[in-house]
Amino acid sequence: MSFPVADHAPDLNNLDRQFFFHPFTALGDHERNGPLVMVSGEGVWLEDNHGKRYIDSMAGLWCVNIGYGRREIADAIHAQAMKLPYYHTFASMSTEAPILLAQKLIEMSPVPMSKVFFGNSGSDANDTQVKLVWYYNNARGLPLKKKIIARRRGYHGVTVVTAGMTGLPGLHGGFDLPLPFIKHTTAPHRLWEAEPGQSDAEFVAKLANDLEQLILAEGPETVGAMIMEPVMGAGGVIVPPEGYYPAIQKVLDKYDVLLIADEVICGFGRLGTMFGTEAMGMKPDLITVAKGVTSAYVPLSACLVSEKVWRAIVAGSDKLGVFGHGFTYSGHPIAAAAALANLKVIEDEQLVAQAGSRGKIMHQYLRAAFADHPAVGDVRGFGLIGAVEFVAARNPARRFDPALKVGVRVAKAALASGLITRGLPDGDSIAFSPPFVISEEEIAEMVQRARKAVDQVFGELKAEGHWQG
């Protein structure tokens, strides 16, 4: 028996405010205003409990890569739930689906990898990577080599360790983070970090030198790893200049520092290659995946571990005993079955290539709509991920007062027009990261709605005296 969803909208609103503690939410505002409740989705479209439809230009949180409403994934989840809904993977226990998924991920890996450790989210996977780095260096007789370097504006999760690695102040305030062993270096964000007139080669040299000076200041014998997203996501959709990763890799190799590639957003096609590591020319020792591995139909993450790291961990376990890390849901069979079905859809429908081609179209539309806007400092991206960054003045670039929350304000105006975008937390940017199945017509509509929201907000800012136009 079914009921019209709209009849329950007021109850859902009140029940949510009464019982649901939301992540990354202005809690006082939420208590006053309540939630926006989504009830269905198909392709790139979502529908709320009042029947209003939205283009989801963010694929949820950068994750619903194959789009909403895919029967193939639902069928795989159902079949696995009926056959064997759960069994653990501790103490050499296993089930079929995660075995096959581990094999698949190693075969797909952009650089040679040896083993796969499963978790539940990108946060816990990156947390696991830090523990692997520590275990690896302890096994090598290098117990001081524990510090982790990340980049300002990077995003790596929300555990005590990974929120600290995240280079966004909003994840630190009130939580006493980051912990002392986490250090941050300069992000490759040309708009704000490059000197006027600086060439890409000069900017890359500066960034590599910043990293080397940080390692030397901390002591190379204390630095265990550096973690980087191929293209930085939540911190602004920052695409590094050509030559950046080889220059950084040279510094890491010089001081025996492992590289962790955080592929949580970029992995499985977002950049028009199966992994962002391929597109950016990275050579990681460890790779983190999540989000796109199941297109978020169920939670799953994985750490891909190189043979070099694996052999040291095995040697350490031979001395220390059981490897003392893992989760109740590591290698969950339903999640693994969903991932296998998701990866089959991506391959069968050639969605990686499609993400690349649709990404080129999206960037053409974004540049046409925003490149000449007097309040736009940058239109950037790679593959099917992009951002528009707003500035109070263009030459030289000058930021808006952070209290104005311009990016968030644009995203709210877009929501009213039936477009879900996202105001990013560090700077006045809005992001676009739609499902790979988006059509050119939907891209055009997405950008048109975004431009409408921008015009509305900057008209208001001008009237308020916050922008000269």
Evaluate whether 356 touches 153 at the Cβ level (below 8 Å): no
Determine the pLDDT at residue 10.
63
- In whole angstroms, what is the distance from residue 346 CA to residue 467 CA? 44
**Within a 13 Å sphere around the CA of 354, how many CA atoms are in the beta-carbon half?**
17
Q: Are 377 and 390 in contact (CB under 8 A)?
A: yes
Of 177, 139, 142, 145, the residue nearest 158 (C-alpha): 177
Average pLDDT over residues 204-231: 99
Mean residue pLDDT of the chain comes to 96
Q: Residue 285 phi/psi, 5° resolution?
A: -90, -25
Is 4 or 169 the better-scoring residue by pLDDT? 169
**Do the Cβ atoms of 408 and 390 come closer than 8 Å?**
no
Count Cα atoms within 13 angstroms, Cβ side, for 156. 36
Which domains are delineated in the chain? 36-67+349-462 (3.90.1150.10), 69-347 (3.40.640.10)
424 touches 387 (CB < 8 A): yes
For the cut 60, the answer to whether the pLDDT of residue 194 exceeds it is yes
pLDDT of residue 8: 47
Question: Which helix (H) or strand (E) is 119 found in, with range?
Answer: strand 115-119
pLDDT in tens, 206-219: 999 999 999 999 99
Tens digits of per-residue pLDDT, 272-282?
A: 999 999 999 99
- Contact between 389 and 428 under an 8 Å Cβ cutoff? The reply is yes
Q: Is 143 helix (H, G, I), strand (E, B) or coil?
A: coil
Q: Which residues in 387-398 are b (16+ Cβ under 10 Å) and which e?
A: bbbbbbeeeeee
User: Both tokens of residue 439?
Assistant: 């059509």
* Residue matched to tokens 């990577």: 129
Q: Tens digits of per-residue pLDDT, 47-104? A: 999 999 999 999 999 999 999 999 999 999 999 999 999 999 999 999 999 999 999 9
Strands (E), 177-300: 182-185, 223-228, 258-262, 286-289
What value does the mean pLDDT take over residues 236-252?
98
> How far apart are the C-alpha atoms of 186 and 167, rounded to whole Å?
10
Distance CA 209, CA 226 (A): 15
CB proximity list for 292: less than 8 A, separation 6 or greater: 63, 65, 265, 267, 268, 269, 270, 342
Token digits of residue 66: 């194959």
Residue 328 near residue 118 (C-beta atoms within 8 A): no
From 74, 69, 72, select the one nearest 44 (Cα to Cα): 69
The C-alpha angle with vertex 79 and arms to 74 and 81, in degrees rounded to 5, equals 95
More confident residue, 131 or 10: 131
If you search the block for the tokens 């708009």, which residue do you land on? Answer: 191
Which residue type does 103 have?
Q
Q: Which tokens hold the place of 381?
A: 């991206």
C-alpha to C-alpha distance for 305 and 288, rounded to whole angstroms: 9
Q: Which residue has the tokens 């816990």?
A: 124
Q: Beta-carbon neighbour count of residue 210 at 10 Å?
A: 16
**Position 469 confidence tier, pLDDT thresholds 50, 70, 90:** confident
Span 285-305, pLDDT tens digits: 999 999 999 999 999 999 999
Q: How far apart are CA 445 and CA 435, in angstroms?
A: 14
Nearest to 461 by CA among 381, 392, 383: 392
DSSP 68: B
* pLDDT at position 180: 98
Q: What is the torsional sign of CA 243, 244, 249, 251?
A: positive
Task: Quickly list H helices, 198-320.
Answer: 200-218, 244-254, 276-280, 307-320
Per-residue tokens: 17: 């405010």
DSSP 397-462: EEPPPGGG-HHHHHHHHHHHTTEE-EE-SSSSEEEE---TT--HHHHHHHHHHHHHHHHHHHHHHH
Kindly report, residue by residue over 311-331, the tens digit of the pLDDT. 999 999 999 999 999 999 999
Answer left, alpha or beta for residue 148, where phi above 0 means left and psi between -120 and 50 means alpha. Answer: beta
Structure tokens at 74: 């639902």
Neighbouring residues of 223: CB distance < 8 A, sequence distance ≥ 6? 145, 147, 149, 183, 215, 255, 257
Nearest CA to 386 out of 358, 347, 412, 346 is that of 358
